[in-house]
């Protein structure tokens, strides 16, 4: 197969579809790999490293798109890439197709493409093996963001995240006890903050209470408990995920009145629509805005802050599925491995994932 890795056109996205060493693995298995010039530069991978691993560096994106059977990306397509999509092509990426631009879906369908969305790949235990490492990174980076935007020079409350002798630490509230939430709890505790966790899954709450005995305050997530926690929180983290569909708005604008001016909201769920009514996507170069005195940090591609680490983490998790595809797993739709099938949102122009179909108003595949 001819495998293409293109440079992302999404603003402030620095990750790349595969690092050089994994490109080398594909070349040694007999595949030809085309890499667009400077595709890996943002993550610290110069073209020479790809060439040393046997890849061909192409100076134009059109050449990669025009020749490749499979395109590997790390984010959705930018609008100026839609017309580069070739008929029958296979695309693999973190698409978030449930909240994607409808024009992209229509293009993929019209071109008879196959789209494997890493976000919806789910194993037999209900885990999301490719999304998980990105969620881990997003959770672990929370204290870095919180510390910065609590600073006075960033419009914050002037609170030291970990506190000081005779001075209490910041209060961090985390909504959602999934992978993002658990990692955010761990990282914020490690930074010295006081942490409150809210979730509707009591088993998850019990697990976190057992892991951090006496160190985390836990509540079921409902309007009464959210109101209570908002009365004292300095930082609120949205870490809610409903796989394959838009995240519900759990926090209304009216509830922001309970937060003190200078408080911070970090909505990690914004890549699936956001769990705050006031959330809207921002970008790393302009990551925040203020609503009713509360700073909002709503960057969809948060792991791109650590582009090199995130590229390796994603590639490690995605490589088994890339191998399946390059070995012909998509040739027979009836024999698709279930774990791969869960990630195939579009197969040869047919919308197969119900969440994407419902969200974008396209015909849902009959079971």
Positions annotated as catalytic residues are: 96, 271
Pairing of the two strands 70-72 and 90-93:
parallel
For the chain, helix, strand, coil in percent to 5 are 40, 20, 40
Q: Are 167 and 215 in contact (CB under 8 A)?
A: no
Dig out the tokens for 364 from the structure. 């849902």
φ, ψ dihedrals at 264, nearest 5°: -130, 135
Helix (H, G, I), strand (E, B) or coil at 60: coil
**Residue 53: in which H helix or E strand, if any?**
none
First to last CA, the chain: 31
> What is the C-alpha separation between 176 and 187, in angstroms, rounded?
15
Helix (H, G, I), strand (E, B) or coil at 173: strand
> What is the C-alpha separation between 286 and 288, in angstroms, rounded?
6
């Amino acid at each position: 197969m001819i495998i293409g890795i293109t440079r992302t056109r999404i603003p402030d996205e620095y990750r790349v579809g595969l690092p050089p060493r994994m490109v080398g693995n594909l070349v040694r298995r007999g595949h030809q790999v085309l890499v667009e010039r400077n595709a890996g530069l943002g993550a610290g991978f110069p073209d020479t490293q790809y060439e040393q691993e046997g890849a061909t560096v192409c100076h134009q994106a059109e050449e990669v798109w025009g020749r490749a059977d499979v395109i590997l990306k790390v984010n959705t397509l930018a609008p100026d890439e839609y017309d580069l999509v070739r008929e029958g092509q296979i695309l693999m990426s973190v698409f978030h197709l449930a909240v994607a631009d409808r024009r992209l879906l229509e293009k993929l369908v019209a071109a008879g493409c196959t789209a494997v969305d890493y976000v919806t790949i789910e194993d037999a235990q209900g885990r999301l093996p490719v999304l998980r490492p990105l969620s881990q990174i997003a959770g672990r980076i929370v204290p870095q963001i919180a510390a910065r935007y609590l600073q006075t020079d960033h419009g914050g409350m002037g609170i030291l995240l970990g506190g000081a002798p005779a001075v209490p630490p910041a209060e961090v509230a985390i909504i959602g006890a999934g992978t993002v939430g658990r990692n955010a709890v761990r990282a914020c505790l490690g930074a010295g903050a006081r942490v409150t966790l809210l979730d509707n899954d009591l088993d998850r709450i019990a697990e976190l209470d057992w892991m951090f005995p006496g160190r985390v305050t836990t509540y079921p997530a409902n309007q009464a408990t959210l109101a209570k926690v908002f009365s004292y929180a300095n930082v609120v983290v949205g870490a809610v995920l409903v796989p394959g569909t838009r995240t519900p708005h759990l926090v209304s604008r009216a509830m922001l009145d309970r937060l003190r001016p200078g408080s911070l909201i970090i909505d990690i769920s914004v890549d699936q629509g956001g769990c705050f009514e006031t959330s809207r996507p921002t970008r790393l170069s302009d990551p925040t805005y203020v609503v009713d005195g509360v700073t909002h940090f709503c960057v969809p591609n948060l792991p791109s802050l650590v582009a090199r680490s995130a590229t390796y983490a994603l590639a490690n998790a995605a490589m088994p599925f890339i191998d399946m595809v390059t070995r012909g797993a998509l040739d027979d739709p009836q024999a698709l491995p279930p774990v791969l099938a869960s990630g195939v949102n579009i197969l040869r122009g047919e919308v197969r994932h119900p969440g994407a179909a419902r969200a974008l108003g396209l015909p849902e595949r009959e079971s």
